[in-house]
């Protein structure tokens, strides 16, 4: 049985999840929303906003924040503000196996997180085929399927992104290796309106456990209150309390051109 989680922002109907994460109710009139990522071989990116509740319809972008990322060997960088609320590094690039600390400061408030950059897991293959599960009366769609081999003996967590003609398909898709430890894992997604000569690209991102728990928490929240905003936020890695998540990840990517039947 495949064990992964999917969020579709415009769909209230979601598959049930096998793992249940306790999500304590946390409310606040206004919280910082700190969303960012740092990948191996790339610089850090962060977006800072203020919001009354998670999934609010609008955000207030935060200007003038000071954001520092530091590695375990003393290397560090202050992120530069690109425009209102968006910040990026210029020279410090992520390395697998290293610990990194991120600090965000704004108007007397300080938020911190620390995590280790995961090792890359490579994609074995990517194929396009007719989807295997079809409801009665429906025509099968095409689905993209990647296969990758999980490193055995260690806990691994993954996020998978699918792109159709370089447009990212909506949703967060994550899985772990609890069932597939040390084995080859298939991961599939049906793609609407796939035509001959269209391109399909897939990114396999090895992520740390707290990022995985964060995405699974989003699924749990939407299952409890589908199709609407919620007054609490999923588990994340910020201390003290803030919304959003800073994800350390390691990406492998591959693509194919769909040639048709």
Residues of the chain under the 50 pLDDT cut: 1-2, 7-28, 54, 56, 226-231
pLDDT at position 1 = 45
Provide, rounded to the nearest whole percent, the portion of the chain with pLDDT above 90: 65
Question: Between the CA of residue 258 and those of 126, 129, 132, what are the distances in Å?
Answer: 11, 10, 18
Residue 224 confidence (pLDDT)? 61
Give the pLDDT score at 52: 57
CA distance 152 to 147: 15
Give me the pLDDT at residue 228, please.
45
247, 36 Cβ separation under 8 angstroms: yes
Count the residues in the chain: 261
pLDDT at 9: 34
At residue 57, the pLDDT reads: 53
pLDDT for residue 118:
97
CB atoms within 10 A of CB 228: 8
Query: For residue 171, what is the DSSP state?
Result: S
pLDDT at 59: 64
Q: Residue 61: what pLDDT?
A: 93
110 CB neighbour count, 10 Å cutoff: 11
CB 116 within 8 A of CB 97: yes
Domains in the chain: ranges and CATH: 32-116 (2.60.40.10), 123-235+248-257 (2.60.40)
């Amino acid at each position: 049985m495949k064990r992964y989680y999917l969020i579709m922002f415009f769909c209230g109907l979601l598959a049930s999840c096998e793992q249940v994460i306790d999500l304590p109710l946390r409310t606040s009139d206004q919280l910082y929303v700190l969303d960012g990522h740092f990948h191996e071989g790339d610089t850090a990116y962060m977006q800072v906003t203020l919001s009354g509740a998670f999934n609010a319809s609008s955000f207030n972008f935060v200007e003038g924040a000071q954001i520092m990322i530091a590695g375990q060997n003393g290397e560090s960088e202050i992120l530069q503000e690109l425009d209102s609320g968006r910040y990026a590094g210029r020279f410090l690039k992520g390395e697998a196996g290293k610990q990194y600390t991120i600090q965000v400061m704004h108007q007397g408030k300080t938020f911190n997180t620390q995590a280790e950059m995961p090792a890359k897991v490579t994609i074995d293959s990517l194929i396009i085929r007719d989807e295997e599960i079809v409801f009665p009366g429906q025509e099968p769609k095409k689905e993209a399927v990647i296969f990758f081999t999980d490193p055995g003996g260690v806990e691994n967590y993954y996020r998978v992104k699918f792109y159709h003609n370089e447009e990212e398909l909506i949703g967060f898709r994550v899985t772990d290796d609890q069932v597939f430890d040390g084995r080859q894992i298939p991961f599939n997604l049906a793609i609407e309106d796939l035509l001959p000569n269209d391109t399909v690209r897939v990114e396999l991102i090895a992520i740390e456990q707290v990022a995985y728990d964060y995405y699974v928490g989003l699924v749990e929240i939407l299952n409890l209150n589908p199709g609407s905003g919620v007054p609490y936020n999923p588990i994340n890695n910020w201390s003290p309390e803030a919304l959003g998540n800073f994800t350390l990840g390691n990406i492998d990517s591959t693509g194919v051109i769909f040639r048709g039947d």
